[in-house]
Amino acid sequence: VIDQGQADHAVITTCAYCGVGCGFKAEMKGDQVIRMTPWKDGKANRGHSCVKGRFAWGYATHADRLTKPMIRAKITDPWREVSWEEALAHAASELRRIQARYGVDSIGGITSSRCTNEETYLVQKLVRAAMGNNNVDTCGRVCHSPTGYGLKTTIGESAGTQTFDSVMHVDVAVVLGANPSAAHPVFASRLKRRLRQGARLIVIDPRRIELVDAPHVKADYHLPVRPGTNVAVLNAMAHVIVTEGLVNDDFVRARCEDRAFDEWMQFIRRPEHAPEATESITGVPAADLRGAARLYATGGNAAIYYGLGVTEHSQGSTAIMCIANLAMVTGNIGREGVGINPLRGQNNVQGSCDMGSFPHEFPGYRHVSDDKVRAEFERAWGVPLQSEPGLRLPNMFDAAHGGSFKGLYCQGEDIAQSDPNTRHVVAALEAMECVIVQDMFLNETAKYAHVFLPGSSFLEKDGTFTNAERRISRVRQVMAPKAGLADWEVTCALSNAMGYPMRYAHPGEILDEIARLTPTFAGVSFGRIAALGGSVQWPCNDAAPEGTPIMHVDEFVRGKGRFMITQYVPTDERSTRRFPLLMTTGRILSQYNAGVQTRRTANNTWHSEDILEIHPHDAEDRGIVEGDRVAIESRAGETVLRATVTDRIQPGVVYTTFHFPECGSNVLTTDNTDWATDCPEYKVTAVQVRKVTGP
């Protein structure tokens, strides 16, 4: 880091990377940011930060930033720089032309978890009110949509139950399908502090993640689950709790639906769920599983922290319901130090979901078929709205292949890079007649676009992000938008050009509209956030004017908690003679998502190439040694990486990250999705690995 001297002023804002949502001071000299320092009053980070938030903001001023709108007739044509007016008029007339020719449902929009709440709200409003359909989705589809479905079904709200502060009251932490040391470092350091104070730790992960044997921390149990078998492991834990008499009867009888609980008890008692019966499926030794279940049920305050290793599976939603079953059956919900804690990968996954960017829900998770709710939005927005859910992201691709989906507005999301089975996505984009990309950089999706609208970085925006603990924090503009318009202004201008008026003087007015239309946000405003010290956790309304740190305290949001039957169903993606290994994916500390931001900063010097982790036995079988180039082939595609031989990964499983798109782990991932939400099964891909010889 280069010390660039004394700042003349500072602006408090929120990190643009992970779902911890750290508060930062942008230290300024004139209109230039010279340093980002963690904000000591930030309630999510309390003065701490990691290498991403602290040092990796240089992408905002990177030479690759595009600042001029561009259009072209065909994707093989060169781009032509045009004025904002011409670009927006062209985009609007193309979208209307497509609707006139192919029907009102032939276009849609995609929002991003990297955009603010206000921007996301506007995109779904544009789709519903200006385009006249519900074809809106978000990248939350491909990460935490099962969290939304599973938690709504069981406890009534699509959100984590606690604050990060609550970890300091935890006696037993279960870290499941997550690697906080790399992906949520500020939370990880608080968790480690609590572990060093004596809290116990259970890690459930195919990989021996850093937490398992971090300095001065030792996991009591590491359950090395085989990819794709989380549900069998979690059911086995519940089986132990039930059959060994560890149920919290008082909690369950007072707080949960009797009938659903009784049915679940019958289901979970069945011998097929016993750890000894599931050991050959999950790879987890029965004795360890029994020990972990007993510890979770009897060790005091027990909290589950989980990540994409739970959700990105064909049974992602089922696994979330298993987690809720475990929390309810032991009474580990509704107070400090317990609960269900999704660790969100991106800064505003929670917010983008809250803001109604799924095709079936208005802001606040209310179904579009609810006549009363829809009437409220129709009154506020002044247009009739569709009552049928629209297309999800993968359905848009399928419809494009089928010729019925022809136009897409994509804000801040690089679907050609981030979504599974790249070939399928690219073919869908090529089949469309108008793809509009709004982004800071000419990303992979822009290669298939007809209109490019330059986007703004977090340093150029006003608004709010909502982190993994439902904390709504202010994002403050520290420099003018490089392209002249902020992202929210671009969406408004596109809507106006399409003939549906959208006028706001400032993002604060957008948040006021959100608050008027969303009961859980009813008390939220820029003013309230400032008065409460810079952030507030929703629900924030008349019943909870200062926000809600812990949910489900006296009763669940849905009233009584509902146990769900969670039958384990093996994924179709199994190892075969042709593809004998299972590939899973994750993150590293210095990079973020597809690397669009971090790889344009000094962080790239720390880790500039992707690797494939392979167990020594599997490496030896294939004649692979450390540093070899290896080809990885799945039924979807093939790529080449450098091998690292390590026993951090179990035999039969290989591991890579998704930070380096040119190596393309998504070239390999398949079309399998979660049964309830269509979240892709990124975490299980059957592959073969062979050493590459020659150039």
What residues line the site for ligand SF4 (CB under 6 A)? 15, 17-18, 20-22, 45, 49-50, 52-53, 184-186
Distance CA 351, CA 368 (A): 18
Distance CA 639, CA 431 (A): 25
Q: Smaller CB distance to ligand SF4: residue 347 or 518?
A: 347
**Residue 55 beta carbon to ligand SF4: minimum distance, rounded to whole angstroms:** 9
Distance CA 35, CA 1 (A): 9
Distance CA 523, CA 501 (A): 26
Q: Smaller CB distance to ligand SF4: residue 53 or 586?
A: 53
Beta bridge partners of 544: 541
Q: Smaller CB distance to ligand SF4: residue 211 or 428?
A: 211
Q: Smaller CB distance to ligand SF4: residue 18 or 322?
A: 18
What angle is formed at CA 370 by the lines to CA 511 and CA 260, rounded to 5 degrees?
105
Q: Smaller CB distance to ligand SF4: residue 46 or 294?
A: 46
Cβ neighbours of residue 399 closer than 8 Å, sequence gap 6 or more: 391, 405
Q: Smaller CB distance to ligand SF4: residue 409 or 592?
A: 592
Distance CA 650, CA 455 (A): 42
> Strand runs (DSSP E) across 94-242, as ranges?
107-111, 136-138, 172-176, 200-204, 221-223
**Residue 39 beta carbon to ligand SF4: minimum distance, rounded to whole angstroms:** 11
**Backbone φ and ψ of 384, nearest 5°:** -70, 145
Q: Smaller CB distance to ligand SF4: residue 156 or 185?
A: 185
Give the other-Cβ count within 10 Å of 243's Cβ.
15
**Residue 191 beta carbon to ligand SF4: minimum distance, rounded to whole angstroms:** 12
**Residue 347 beta carbon to ligand SF4: minimum distance, rounded to whole angstroms:** 6
**Residue 458 beta carbon to ligand SF4: minimum distance, rounded to whole angstroms:** 11
Q: Smaller CB distance to ligand SF4: residue 123 or 182?
A: 182
Distance CA 339, CA 64 (A): 43
**Residue 280 beta carbon to ligand SF4: minimum distance, rounded to whole angstroms:** 38
Q: How far is CA 184 from CA 18, 164, 307, 406, in A?
A: 7, 11, 10, 38
Q: Smaller CB distance to ligand SF4: residue 184 or 290?
A: 184
**Residue 346 beta carbon to ligand SF4: minimum distance, rounded to whole angstroms:** 10
Q: How far is CA 486 from CA 5, 160, 222, 329, 651, in A?
A: 29, 30, 46, 48, 49
**Residue 349 beta carbon to ligand SF4: minimum distance, rounded to whole angstroms:** 12
Element housing 194 (H / E): helix 185-196
Distance CA 293, CA 297 (A): 6
Residue of minimal CB distance from ligand SF4?
53
**Residue 50 beta carbon to ligand SF4: minimum distance, rounded to whole angstroms:** 3
**Residue 159 beta carbon to ligand SF4: minimum distance, rounded to whole angstroms:** 18
Question: What is the rounded (10 degree) CA torsion for 443, 447, 449, 454?
Answer: 30
Distance from first CA to last CA of the chain, Å, rounded? Answer: 37
Distance CA 34, CA 9 (A): 10
Q: Smaller CB distance to ligand SF4: residue 18 or 494?
A: 18
